[in-house]
Amino acid sequence: MAIHSINHVQLPFPAGAEGQIRNFYSALLGLTELRHAATGTALHFAAGAQRIELVPTDRWAAVPAASHLAFEVDNLPELRGRLLEAELPLVENRALPGYLRFYVKDPAGNQLEFLEPDTEQEWPV
């Protein structure tokens, strides 16, 4: 027996915020929403071969700041620009040697990290 990958990650969001969550993950992040009959009220998005499941809950509470989901991406500056244009606050003060990275919270307050190997590029102005 060997574990070879993560199949999915499940994050909560407050019931009634489906539109905001869908917009954030599909329009801003560019993830493909997966729709099938078995999803119920959960929202499912593909991130490469993995899935992100977002589940509405009536007893929603923000997760601790140390908990987060990290995405390795191509063209991090383009994503950064899109999120800044949407006026989302980014946290960019946590250096990681060898990577460009930033954090942002989704509409439910789930912290997300986006990183890309640093090829000595500077952030665009």
- Digit-coded pLDDT (tens) for 8-64: 889 999 999 999 999 999 999 999 999 866 667 899 999 988 999 999 998 878 777
- Residues β-bridged to residue 115: 72, 101
The torsion angles phi and psi of 38, rounded to 5 degrees, stand at -80, 0
Q: For the whole model, what pTM was predicted?
A: 0.84
76-79-84 Cα angle (round to 5): 120
Identity at 4, one-letter amino acid code: H
Please, what's the b/e burial string for 95-117 (b: 16 or more CB within 10 A of its CB; e: otherwise)? eeeeebbbbbbbbbebbbbbbbe
Least confident of 11-15, 19-23, 65-69, 102-106: 65-69
